[in-house]
Amino acid sequence: MGFIRRTWFQIFISGLLLLYVVEKAVITTNNPNFIPSVILLGSFLVPVSFITYLYGNLPNWEYSLPPMAICFLWGGVVGTVVAGNLEYDVVKALGFLPMLGVGLIEESAKLIFPLAYYLQGRHRSLATGILLGTASGMGFAALETMGYSFVSLLESKGNLVVLDEVLLARGLLSPAGHAAWTGLVCAVLWRERAKTGHTVFNWQVVKAFLTAVLLHALWDIFNSTRKATFLEFIILELLSLLVAYTSISLLNKRVREAQLPA
């Protein structure tokens, strides 16, 4: 029961309670002014809890709270804006957007702020790289979830059940999505610099980035493909879970590496 005293767990439970209270207020008063609070709390609950979990379980993170906050907020906002504009330009130019292109654009956009800190060279531990990468990924995921939630609310004509389904699905899977992909790339960046003693973009870094892009593309393909039959639905859901499992396993491997004694 020691996990009850963990900060991440307390944040998660208190966030759930706040979300429940606000949703109860929406239902009781039928006041749409509470809807933005529901979307905000639901979108940021898991991302903030997950980052807090990593922060409490990774050693040698070099007091990186301010850089983490910048990567989470600025990285998330700038990442979504840059990715959205680039994807829009490609759609206008080509008339379609392959999922591989989406993965390439979004994985690049999320690295903008972590790369800025990497090139500065002041935060050098592997744990710091993982935290900055996952923070940027989670900021991106939270803001993206807010967008999807708002659209789903409009399309469902204010159906809270539909809104909750979107918030739940995207929230629970966010650690195995954007956070894992960007965290993996940053972990390899910081690890390779520790090996060589200087800033480096070698094959290991390229391979990690291409892995993140591929996992991202596969995730989007499996989740956007139309399911004509129940069997197709089951197969695509299992494939999506396989991508999620692979993603979080790769991140967890880097986390365990960072936890080893130096």
pLDDT tens per residue across span 216-236: 999 988 888 877 788 888 999
- Name the residue range of residue 9's domain: 2-259
Indicate the number of domains in the chain.
1
How confident is the model at residue 95, as a pLDDT?
Answer: 47
CA distance 48 to 235: 31
With residue 4 as reference, give the H or E element that holds it: none
Q: What is the mean pLDDT of the chain?
A: 89
pLDDT in tens, 21-43: 999 999 999 898 999 999 999 99
How confident is the model at residue 230, as a pLDDT?
Answer: 85
What band does 118 get if pLDDT is binned at 50, 70 and 90?
very high
How confident is the model at residue 124, as a pLDDT?
Answer: 80
CA distance 173 to 220: 13
CA distance 51 to 134: 7
CA distance 81 to 133: 18
Question: Would the pLDDT of 96 be above 50?
Answer: no
What band does 91 get if pLDDT is binned at 50, 70 and 90?
low
Map residue 204 onto helix, strand or coil.
Answer: helix
Residue type for position 189: L
CA distance 77 to 259: 30
